[in-house]
Homo-oligomer: A and B are copies of this chain.
Amino acid sequence: MKSVKNIAIMGAGLVGSLLSLYLKKRGYEVTVYERRPDLRKTGAAGGRSINLAISERGWKGLAGVGLEAEIRKMAIQMPGRMIHDMQGNLNFQPYGKPGEAINSVSRGDLNIALIDAAEASGIKFIFNQRVLETDLAGTYAMMEDGNKGGTYKLQPDLIIGADGAFSLVRYTMMKTDRFDYSQTYEAHGYKELTIPAGPDNSFLIEKNALHIWPRKNFMLIALPNMDGSFTCTLFYNLDGEQSFKTLTTEKEVEVFFRTYFADAMEIMPTLYQDFFANPTGLLMTVKCFPWSHGNTMLIGDAAHAIIPFYGQGMNCGFEDCSVLNELLDTYSDDWEKTIPAYQTARKPNSDGIADLAKLNFIEMRDLVADPDFQFKKQIAAKVSATYPDKFIPVYSMVSFSNLPYSEALKEYRRQDEVLSAVLLLPEIREKWDTTYFQEIAGRLFNK
């Protein structure tokens, strides 16, 4: 690979925009090409979730380009989950220690802030530009110009595909030898709905929480917005007797919501309009490897799209940027060393968070009164309190630390194994809260 001066980033989404700032700061000439129109002119990007939850890795990524403070002003702290049961009873469960919180932010506003900051630093963004093909060996990209029409050839020193879950750059890589690839859809889809603001932009339910209505096989969640509204998402089966397919009339939607989400329904005046106007989204996991070929590499969702149940998609993508930046430090901007080191280091972690996101979906739905699950959680909390150094909650590792995702997944499995063993102990249900039992648990965790 010749010396890299000009870099073309494909995709002006969250990761592409943040990455452009990192690379510009290092002295590269960076241009960002985006397939869609400028979202500052057209409004929010279609087809994607409206809210995001920023946690530690996201903040670290933003801090690296000096944007943390600015974005914090746009975010609403959510220090825990507010569980809504079938009767409308509320139960607040903190995510971590006092002071720890994940943060609701608008995807569109965050993206605009990043693009504005990047343009202000001299990075060029060109919209309505679609990658048709990349020549992975020789580093050129054939582009389609949606503004003037026609196609043209681009020849930067390096092409970085930050073009999301349906990456066009990745599709070119699929034709190369030995490219491992998988795309897997969930049986669940999602639909976005709204709880509007109350009078004077007041919040109609608790502002500082991520609301969850867990119903075992499906769930509704709600995240607060700065204007007092909440963005709700219904996750539900795509097919079957209880599924989106059985919600085709207002009457069906009404009965469904009245049965399962009565308290939410009362504050959703546009429920039917939203339900039938908004598309049913699909949930896909993408894994692939390698993430590079010749002078082309993938980053963010283009390399590893995950499902949203750990709130880590964007956080993982931002961590991609800070990890890549650190490796460019390590290898003094020698991309021939940096790229292999990056993909080797990062792959186990993107696989790890993909798996954790799937596991967390099950946990979130199981927050419904599943006695075994709740008992296990009760024991876990007790063990964690007794042995804080031996039992770090995995949620905290993922959301409030920068420990590698792969280690968090390993820890999840270890804890699950030990907790399953603990549950087999005689008289556990009577004695779980005793010193005697705590000692046994401590020994199990020490193995």
Q: Which of A82-90, A118-126, A176-184, A219-227 contacts B (4 or more CB under 8 A)?
A: A176-184
Interface digits, A172-198 against B, CB 8 Å rule (1 contact, 0 not)? 001001111111110000000000000
Chain B residues near A182: list those with CB within 8 A: 181-184
A238 (CB) vs chain B CBs: closest residue: B178
Chain B residues near A183: list those with CB within 8 A: 174, 179-182
Distance from A223 Cβ to chain B, minimum over Cβ atoms (Å): 26
Instruction: For the complex, give the distance between the alpha carbons of A2 and B22 in Å.
Output: 57
Contact partner of A181 (CB less than 8 A), chosen from B178, B179, B181, is B181
Distance from A170 Cβ to chain B, minimum over Cβ atoms (Å): 12
Distance from A127 Cβ to chain B, minimum over Cβ atoms (Å): 24
Instruction: For the complex, give the distance between the alpha carbons of A181 and B174 in Å.
Output: 12
Chain B residues near A185: list those with CB within 8 A: 177-180
Does A282 reach chain B (CB closer than 8 Å)? yes
Contact assessment for B178 and A282 in the assembled complex, using a CB-CB cutoff below 8 Å: yes
Contact assessment for A184 and B180 in the assembled complex, using a CB-CB cutoff below 8 Å: yes
Distance from A299 Cβ to chain B, minimum over Cβ atoms (Å): 21
Instruction: For the complex, give the distance between the alpha carbons of A178 and B186 in Å.
Output: 8
Instruction: For the complex, give the distance between the alpha carbons of A177 and B280 in Å.
Output: 12
Instruction: For the complex, give the distance between the alpha carbons of A238 and B178 in Å.
Output: 10
Chain B residues near A184: list those with CB within 8 A: 180, 182
A287 (CB) vs chain B CBs: closest residue: B182
Distance from A132 Cβ to chain B, minimum over Cβ atoms (Å): 15
Question: Mostly helix, strand, loop or mixed at chain A's interface?
Answer: strand
Distance from A181 Cβ to chain B, minimum over Cβ atoms (Å): 5
Chain B residues near A179: list those with CB within 8 A: 183, 185
A283 (CB) vs chain B CBs: closest residue: B178
Contact assessment for A282 and B177 in the assembled complex, using a CB-CB cutoff below 8 Å: yes
Instruction: For the complex, give the distance between the alpha carbons of A282 and B179 in Å.
Output: 11
Instruction: For the complex, give the distance between the alpha carbons of A184 and B181 in Å.
Output: 7
Distance from A34 Cβ to chain B, minimum over Cβ atoms (Å): 22
Chain B residues near A181: list those with CB within 8 A: 181-183
Interface digits, A145-186 against B, CB 8 Å rule (1 contact, 0 not)? 000000000000000000000000000001001111111110
Instruction: For the complex, give the distance between the alpha carbons of A179 and B238 in Å.
Output: 14
Instruction: For the complex, give the distance between the alpha carbons of A182 and B183 in Å.
Output: 6
Distance from A191 Cβ to chain B, minimum over Cβ atoms (Å): 15
Chain B residues near A174: list those with CB within 8 A: 183
Chain B residues near A238: list those with CB within 8 A: 178
Distance from A186 Cβ to chain B, minimum over Cβ atoms (Å): 9
A187 (CB) vs chain B CBs: closest residue: B178
Distance from A403 Cβ to chain B, minimum over Cβ atoms (Å): 28
Distance from A82 Cβ to chain B, minimum over Cβ atoms (Å): 32
Chain B residues near A180: list those with CB within 8 A: 183-185
Instruction: For the complex, give the distance between the alpha carbons of A251 and B88 in Å.
Output: 78
Distance from A253 Cβ to chain B, minimum over Cβ atoms (Å): 22
Distance from A168 Cβ to chain B, minimum over Cβ atoms (Å): 12
Instruction: For the complex, give the distance between the alpha carbons of A179 and B181 in Å.
Output: 13
A181 (CB) vs chain B CBs: closest residue: B183
Instruction: For the complex, give the distance between the alpha carbons of A374 and B177 in Å.
Output: 36
Instruction: For the complex, give the distance between the alpha carbons of A178 and B280 in Å.
Output: 12
Instruction: For the complex, give the distance between the alpha carbons of A64 and B311 in Å.
Output: 54
Interface digits, A274-286 against B, CB 8 Å rule (1 contact, 0 not)? 0000000010000
Interface digits, A181-219 against B, CB 8 Å rule (1 contact, 0 not)? 111110000000000000000000000000000000000
Interface digits, A216-249 against B, CB 8 Å rule (1 contact, 0 not)? 0000000000000000000000100000000000
Additional A-B contact list (12), CB under 8 Å, known A179-B185, A181-B183: A174-B183, A177-B185, A177-B282, A178-B185, A178-B238, A179-B183, A180-B184, A180-B185, A181-B182, A182-B182, A182-B183, A182-B184
7 smallest beta-carbon distances between A and B, as pairs: A182-B182, A178-B185, A180-B184, A181-B183, A180-B185, A177-B282, A178-B282
Query: What are 8 A-B interface contacts by the 8 Å CB criterion?
Result: A174-B183, A177-B282, A178-B238, A178-B282, A179-B183, A179-B185, A180-B183, A180-B185
